[in-house]
Amino acid sequence: MEQDQGGDSHDQETVLDHIELCTFDTNTTPCLLASSEVDDFVDSFINMDQYEDQESQENHNHHQSFYHFVVNEEDDDVDAYSIGYVPTTMEDEELEICDNTAITMEEEEVEMNGTFGAIPQARASVGMNQGLDLVHTLLVCAEAIGCRDNHQANLLLGKILAMANPSGDSLQRVSYCFAKGLKCRLSLYPHNNVYSNGALTTSASNDVSLITRENKLEAFQLLYQTTPYITFGFMAANEAICQGSKGKSSIHIIDLGMEHTLQWPSLIRNLASRPEGPPRLRITGFSTNKENNAKLHTSMNFLVEEAISLGIVLEFHIISEPATPSFLTIENLNLREGESLFVNSILKLHNYVKESRGYLKAVLQSIKKLSPIAVTVIEQDTNHNGPFFLGRFLESLHYYSAIFDSLEACMPRNSPIRMKIERAHFAEEICNIVAYEGPDRMERHERVDQWRRQLGRAGFHVMPLKCTSQARMMLSVYDCEGYTLSCEKGCLLLGWKGRPIMMASAWQVASFS
């Protein structure tokens, strides 16, 4: 079995390791691509085997906006790094025996009306040619959907589902997720029936998602425990808060989307160890999931007790309303005189991006009026907000292929934890990006340059992060080669084999510069 998976891994590297972003402009891509453009896109999945030989020389060339740099150790306080940033990781044995009852393979098979459970072990992985054929078919299917050629799209979707496999290699798994998204998009077209693995099904408007909010929260926590992507964001945001609150006796953090308390234990420990002594801390979090608020209160009560043991007086308040521009006022947030205010956005600000961008501008202007010392912005670094469907599809296929490749490299093929992360977290994102338009499309990720423009127009400028050494130490804890770290004009970028995945940044109002 180990030899088989090793051979599959070699084929997979040939298809995925050097994923390089195509030259397609996601803002101008029409519904129809020339055949040469399709071939160029598919060819970008080839020539992957050079990575290991040229990593040190070419790691900075995988993406034009991903710059390599040398860390000046004197600029960073290495001693300030807390191992509390790194979650408890799981050993292989734990990965194997983790309970998998929340999301079962049978549920996935019912949803797609497929027969993947009967696929022989010998077909668990595709070779290079099969993988490229799968990518090509995905692209042609997306093109047909973009041009409203529903009949051709249905036929191609059946072909894709015959090749994709939710328990196969990373390319098969990510293709399966995109196939689900394409199926959902097709079903939203009026009077359209969708083929699934060769069988005609009813409109997906009758489909009921098998992924609950509890499943999503569990998958997010597993992603935090097993990869550096979320930990990286927490660490950078907390370091920015600590940096901006030096010498301050009272701190108030407004969290724009608090569904968990994973970020706060390490911040509390770092604040407790300040040379000038611990501050008074207040956390106000927005959470529209009222069913989850009881768990949030329980978790925060534990944090209050831990904070007291460390000499910190901690108050918390949960607001069960959306963080709209009209609600973000001094009165509604109960801001107090003498508090040092911070606004924290972890994977949240992109939800405010709309086609017109007017809503995001209004939110940022409301935040600016609060006069925070810093606004922390942690986002996925990719452009999933282009106006054209095909452009978004191309970008998202590259992006999530890199993520699935990283999960493949860092967890066993049959890991139930990896399955939960992919199906309850990333598959949901992919479906939203691919299937929906208008207000239903919430996953509107953007690149660091776009965030710099939007925040700059709203009156913010970047507050350079000084936690590069801490980030490198954090990555060293994860026993998996391939993660890359870079800096772009004061923002940190965490990537996989040079392809940016996460962006961490902090921003100041001009009066605080």
392 & 449 share domain? no
* Same domain, yes or no: 374 and 315: yes
Say whether pLDDT at 41 is over 50: yes
What CA–CA distance (Å, rounded) separates 370 from 146? Answer: 43
Chain segment 346-383, per-residue pLDDT in tens: 999 999 998 777 899 999 999 999 999 999 999 999 99
Is pLDDT at 9 greater than 70 in this prediction? no
Q: Is the domain of 138 the same as that of 189?
A: yes
**Average pLDDT in the chain:** 79
Task: Evaluate whether 375 touches 384 at the Cβ level (below 8 Å).
Answer: no
User: Does residue 202 carry a pLDDT above 60?
Assistant: no
Rounded Cα–Cα distance for residues 167 and 55 (Å):
29
Same domain? For 374 and 390 the reply is no
**257 and 279 inside one domain:** yes
* All residues at 6 or more sequence positions from 431 whose CB lies less than 8 Å from its CB, including other chains: 177, 180, 181, 184
| Domain enclosing residue 186, as ranges | 2-61+100-216+386-440
**What confidence tier does 51 reach under pLDDT thresholds 50, 70, 90?**
very low
Domain count, the chain: 2
Q: How far is CA 277 from the centre of its chain?
A: 35
Is residue 69 one of the residues assigned to a domain? no
* Mean pLDDT, range 158-174, rounded to an integer: 93
Q: Of the given ranges (9-13, 231-235, 304-308, 426-430), which has the lowest mean pLDDT?
A: 9-13
- CA torsion, ordered 355, 359, 362, 366, to nearest 10 deg: -140
User: Concatenated DSSP letters for 427-487?
Assistant: HHHHHHHHH--GGG-------HHHHHHHHHHTTEEE-----HHHHHHHHHHS--TTEEEEE
How many whole angstroms separate alpha carbon 48 and alpha carbon 22?
Answer: 15
Q: In this structure, are residues 242 and 267 in contact, taking their beta carbons and an 8 Å threshold?
A: yes
**Lowest-pLDDT range, 117-131, 171-185, 210-224, 303-317?**
117-131
The yes-or-no verdict on residue 336 having pLDDT over 80 is yes
Q: What pLDDT was estimated at residue 119? A: 34
pLDDT above 60 for 173: yes
Report the CATH number that the domain containing residue 492 is assigned in CATH.
3.40.50.150
Dihedral, 263, 508, 471, 64 alpha carbons, nearest 10? 120
In a domain, 49, yes or no: yes
Within this chain, do residues 202 and 230 fall inside the same structural domain, yes or no?
no
Range with lowest mean pLDDT among 79-83, 234-238, 315-319: 79-83
Confidence of residue 21 (pLDDT cuts 50, 70, 90): very low
The pLDDT of 182-200, averaged and rounded, is 67
Which residues, at least 6 apart from 276, have a Cβ–Cβ distance to it below 8 Å? 246, 247
**Are residues 404 and 492 part of one domain?**
no
205 or 496, higher pLDDT: 496
If asked whether residues 248 and 365 sit together in one domain, one would say yes
| Alpha helices, DSSP H, located in 228-357 | 228-244, 264-272, 290-309
Predicted local confidence at residue 40, as pLDDT: 62
Q: Which of 504, 502, 503, 495 is nearest to 55 (CA)?
A: 495
Assess whether pLDDT exceeds 80 at residue 448. yes
Residues whose CB is less than 8 angstroms from the CB of residue 153 and which lie 6 or more positions away in sequence, other chains included: 141, 144, 145, 182, 186
Please name the helix (run of DSSP H) or strand (run of DSSP E) that holds residue 365, with its range, or none: helix 358-369
Q: What percent of the chain has pLDDT over 90?
A: 62
Q: How confident is the model at residue 235 (pLDDT cuts 50, 70, 90)?
A: very high
Residue 90 included in any domain: no
Residue type, 267: L
Rounded CA gap, 429 and 63, in Å?
23
Q: Name the residue with higher pLDDT: 227 or 188.
A: 227
What element of type H or E holds 86?
none
3-state DSSP assignment of residue 138: helix
Strands (E) located in 150-277: 194-196, 199-201, 250-255
Mean pLDDT confidence for 376-392: 94
CA atoms within 13 Å, Cβ hemisphere of 361: 8
Q: Which two tokens stand for residue 171?
A: 């390319």
Task: Evaluate if residue 103 carries a pLDDT over 70.
Answer: no
Average pLDDT over residues 395-418: 95
SS (H, E, C) 20-57: CCCCCCCCCCCCCCCHHHHHHHHHCCCCCCCHHHHHHH
Mean pLDDT for the stretch of residues 294-314: 94
Specify whether 212 is located in the same domain as 119.
yes
pLDDT value of residue 290: 80
* pLDDT at 141 exceeding the cut of 80: yes
Do 139 and 178 fall into the same domain? yes
Looking at the domain assignment, is residue 162 inside a domain? yes
Residue 11 lies inside a defined structural domain of this protein:
yes
- Segment among 82-91, 190-199, 264-273, 337-346 with least mean pLDDT: 82-91
Q: Are residues 286 and 402 in the same domain?
A: no
Nearest to 284 by CA among 370, 324, 342, 234: 342
Asked if residue 81 has pLDDT above 90, the reply is: no
Same domain, 378 and 392: no
pLDDT of residue 510: 76
* 244 pLDDT more than 80: yes
